[in-house]
Structure 1
Amino acid sequence: MKRLRHIITLFTLPLLRLSVVLVFSNSWFFGCSPQEQVRTKEQLADHWPRAGITYEIFIRSFYDSDGDGIGDFNGVIEKLDYVNELGANAIWFMPIMPSPSYHKYDVTDYRAVHPDYGTLDEFKALIQAAHDRNIRVVIDLIINHTSSEHPWFLEAKKGRDNPYRDYYVWARNDTLAAYIDKKEITLDSDNIQQWHDPGMGEDYYYGFFYGGMPDLNFDNPRVREEVYDIGRFWLEEVGVDGFRLDAAKHIFPDERAPDNHAFWQEFRQKMEEVKPDLYLVGEVYDKKEIVAPYLPGLPALFNFDFHYGLLEALLTQDGSSLPIKQAEVLTYYEGITDEFIDATISSNHDQPRILTSLGGDVEMAKLAAVILLSMPGAPYLYYGEEIGMLGDKPDPNIREPFLWDVAGKDAGRTSWIDPVFSTDETVTPLAIQREDAESMFSHYKDIIRLRNSDKVLALGSLKPSGDGLPTQVMAYEREFEGEIRWVFHNLGGEPVEIAKPKEATGPVYTFNRAQLNGSQIQLPSRSSLILK
């Protein structure tokens, strides 16, 4: 089962006066004192949700405040200032509700939190502490299915006459042959058994992802009302700012796509009655033509094409296609609505970590961050990418403990799993990276700071501009309210020299020794230059 979650948001600096030229050389501002780099929340420009950065956290692996080896709500509270320091202004929490699994995508109680993470009051305290820092809180809401241990399903299994039977999707044993071989294989699931025997001697139930996750029956009005009440509970009584909607494409089968679209529009309308500024981001794992019709119901949608396009560009050292494909996606979405939010990602909890996907090439991973954060959209940052964590399938090894400090000093490091990829031998802990201006962490802070302080990079349109350039160069223009930024990346292993746009005046950002030399742009291997 391949899924995507993610939340990364934006901690922003005000747009500096145009007379001040900002130059980054991996870790510093030219023309800004250290004091000017530290701003209170009242001074921050805020592009969320349209173009903000959301930080995705798997609480189990984040920070352990009580020494039981499992991350918890109080641990997140202790690290909220870190989220601010990084530059995010929202957090997306992977599932927090009671569940029999470590990942908690199979819920047993929709109005509670898992005791491993703490109490509901502690989660409310986390929300308040986040809001005090101008950080929004978005939680995973898993309504496509429940756990097979959910009380609804335990009742439903008791027989056809049980009032909860119709909460789920069943094939009667006398018609089972018509269903049992019907399988829907999609990009987000490789499960080939979708009808499951509950062991009661009759009828099979439908579980798209696997037997432990029986699908709810959204043709049942009682189920829809249950779901709306659950949403109201988390918005009104708990105080979250929105939801990440898991498996949003699978409320109804693929052949009933219009019913899926209609359901999410109704869900949005019901939730906005409670919270008009509600944030919703959906996981619809497919190509843009399938994704786009969900926008009226789910105004933010993850852009999986961007993830794969970014990896392909970096691995093939071909920068020509990603800006074109991304511009096509944005144009296509604008044909549906001009209020969409394009949730871009470089990785998440379902995909191998970006540094692993790039073969451990640190400079290439840094370049990936510059591309992600200089493109349009509302980027999501998966916890640990900013310190160069590693991870590959199976899924638990993409979700290994965050390394806060060196072994022996890291009291908050979780120990629920023995890490295979992100160990003290392979990843430099945050405490050491903070002191290194060339570290992955310093690099992420710099490019996030630039994006947060520059409205053109945060909010501007996208125009590919790579015609006539070497294929290893990725080039595009960003424009907002008459201002332009020209962005150039060299994805190749050899240096490139190209002509400067006539209208460009000087650098806004440099990475990896790129520079403007008179009328020529000099791009060393795996470097970036942004001009104003």
Structure 2
Amino acid sequence: MKGFQFVFPGRKGVYSDFIWNHQCFSGIDYVIKEGGELKGVFKIHNEYGEEWTDAVSHQLGNYDYLMGADIEYRNPYVVEEMKKWIKWYMDTTKVDGIRLDALKHISSDFLKEWIFYIKTELNPDCYILGEFWKDEAEKIEYFSDKMNDLISCFDAPLHYNFFTASKEGKDYNLSQILKGSFLEKKPVFSVSFVENHDTQQLQALESSVEDWFKPIAYTIILLSDEAYPCVFYPDLFGAEYIDVREDQEIHIIISKVEELPSLLEVRKRFAYGKQIDYFDHPNCVAFVRNGNEKHPGCIVIMSNSDEGFKEIELGKEHADSTYIDFLKNRHEEIHTDENGKAIFCVNPGSVSVWVKKYKP
């Protein structure tokens, strides 16, 4: 910062001739005074306001400031520069989707105007996903409504359901796993996930889902008809790293979820058509995807306790058929009767996806 301005002399105005001065920021996390550095969060008084904006989350009173130099989105020149920047970015990269971080700290008034500009002037089909991290679905729903459904939001409440279920084991009522989720409130605008970079060990929102439950959680978000899933890279490929807590180095290993590739294959080949739920037991639940003209459908059954089973009638069009567990957790074959009825099983604390066995 030179004379309260970011001038970027090396760029020589190639990308933009906009000058970022104190009118473009609402706060900063430190100031330099004679004799040394004074740490803290300081408001920057400018002609657009001397207080934090009100169009943010009211967590802890006001969540406008997060870190670094906080941008003043009440300044119309800043808004126009942000529009020019995103146009340059999208023209340069050719992206057709954007993920926005930390939306609790950004003016919803600005976001609505900026995203409307993207949708109307740049790409009406641009997919925009935001992280508005709340453990209460009603608060995410309020934000989504305020944004006029212009963006999708991560379903943090569903993640916390998975986290709690993995900790409580058989004491968790699996039939209520979707209760209180954003998926339950606004499925079209909900993005479901099991883990992310913030929830893994030693991170800011640490709430790691235990390994035994991850196949169940991924089954729910990948194979349900309304869920729009996001897969965490380390859960697919594994990860290993060293992190530090209280000056102590800790070796972290994130094991890959062995069933995940097969679940992705099931989503691609079988998880189509109307869904019929059998969420009628606290420890064993199931759902059926009926399939469509091109995809045969599947029967999904999960348990967070002992070995479980469900009697399911698929209809006479599936009479005298043979089913196998695509995940290979169960090795028997299941045969339907003349009405297409059979008892489908699952191992303790596990998941099975039963698909029709076709003769070669």
TM-score normalized by structure 1?
0.47
Q: For 1:514 and 1:320, how far apart are their aligned partners in 2?
A: 26
Equivalent AA in structure 2 for residue 305 of structure 1: P
Pair 1:350-2:198 in alignment: yes
Structure 1 pair 521–527 and aligned structure 2 pair: CA distance change class (3 A): same
Match of 2:91 among 219, 232, 236: 236
Structure 2 match to 1:523: 346
Decide which of 299, 302, 306 is 2:158's aligned counterpart. 306
- Kindly indicate whether residue 167 of structure 2 is the aligned counterpart of residue 315 of structure 1: yes
2:231 match: secondary structure: strand
1:463 and 1:476 in contact (8 A); partners too? yes
Contact 1:514/1:528 (8 A) holds in 2: no
Amino acid at match of 2:219: V
- 1:354-503 aligned within 5 A: 357-358=208-209, 361=211, 363-375=212-224, 376-389=226-239, 420-422=250-252, 440=256, 443-456=259-272, 464-467=277-280, 469=281, 471-478=282-289, 485-492=298-305, 494-496=306-308, 498-503=309-314
1:515 deviation in Å?
5.4
Q: Distance in 1 between matches of 2:160 and 2:92?
A: 39
Equivalent of 2:127 in 258, 266, 279: 279
Correspondence for 2:330: 513
Displacement of 1:209 in angstroms is: 1.9
The letter for the 2-side match of 1:364 is: F
Q: What RMSD, in angstroms, separates the aligned Cα atoms of the two structures?
A: 4.2
Q: Is the 8 A contact 1:314 1:364 kept in 2?
A: yes
Asked if the contact 1:310/1:346 (under 8 Å) is kept, the reply is yes
Alpha-carbon displacement from aligned partner over 1:416-452 (angstroms, at most 9, x marks no partner): xx98434xxx578xxxxxxxxxxx4653221111112
Q: 2:70 aligns with which of 215, 219, 228?
A: 215
Q: Is contact 1:284–1:291 with CA below 8 Å preserved after alignment? A: yes
Q: Give the whole-Å Cα distance in 2 for the aligned partners of 1:391 and 1:238.
A: 31
Alignment of 1:123-162 (within 5 A): 152=20, 155-156=21-22
Q: Which amino acid counterpart does residue 112 of structure 2 have in structure 1?
A: Q
Secondary structure of the corresponding residue to residue 199 of structure 2 = coil
Candidates 73, 96, 117, aligned match of 1:270 = 117
Q: Distance in 2 between matches of 1:499 and 1:475?
A: 7
Percent of residue pairs bearing the same amino acid type: 19
CA distance in 1, matches of 2:7, 2:330: 53
Following the alignment from structure 1 to structure 2, what is the Cα–Cα distance between the partners of residues 220 and 420?
A: 45
Instruction: Give distance in 2, aligned partners of 1:227 and 1:390.
Output: 37
Q: For 1:373, what is the secondary structure of its paired residue? A: helix
- Aligned mates of 1:380, 1:280 — CA distance in 2: 14
Matches for 1:51-70 after TM superposition, within 5 Å? none
Structure 1 residues 268 and 481, CA gap change in structure 2 (3 angstroms):
farther
Cα 1:220/1:462, change in 2 over 3 Å: farther
Taking structure 2 as the reference length, the TM-score comes to 0.66
Asked if 1:332 is matched to 2:185, the reply is: yes
Contact 1:306 1:344 in 2 (8 A): yes
Residue 61 of structure 2 is aligned to residue 245 of structure 1: no
Greater share of residues in strand: 2
Query: Unmatched 5+ residue regions in structure 1?
Result: 1-106, 113-150, 157-164, 195-205, 253-259, 335-339, 396-417, 429-439
Report the alpha carbon displacement of residue 229 of structure 1 after superposing the two structures with TM.
1.2
Per-residue Cα deviation, 1:247-268 (whole angstroms, up to 9, x for no partner): 223223xxxxxxx1x5433222
- The one of the two structures with greater contact order (alpha-carbon pairs below 8 A, sep at least 6) is 1
One-letter amino acid matched to 2:156: F
Per-residue deviation, 1:478: 4.1
CA 1:480–1:394: 2 relative to 1, 3 Å: farther
Unpaired runs of 5+ in structure 2? Answer: 1-5, 12-18, 28-42, 336-341, 356-360
Task: Specify the alignment match of 2:30 in structure 1.
Answer: none
1:202: which partner in 2?
none
Aligned residues: 295
Q: CA deviation at 1:214?
A: 2.9
**CA 1:265 to 1:516, structure 2 compared with 1: closer, same or farther past 3 Å?**
farther
Partner SS for 1:244: strand
Shift in CA distance, 356/393, structure 1 to aligned 2, threshold 3 Å: farther
CA 1:301–1:490: 2 relative to 1, 3 Å: same
- Structure number with larger C-alpha Rg: 2
Contact 2:290 2:298 in 1 (8 A): yes
Match of 1:33 in 2: none
Question: Does the 8 Å CA contact 1:511/1:528 hold for their aligned counterparts?
Answer: no
Give the letter for the 1:290 counterpart. Answer: K
Verify the 8 A CA contact 2:99 2:128 in the aligned structure 1. Answer: yes
Structure 2: distance between partners of 1:365 and 1:229: 42
Question: Which residues of 2 match residues 101-120 of structure 1 at below 5 A?
Answer: none
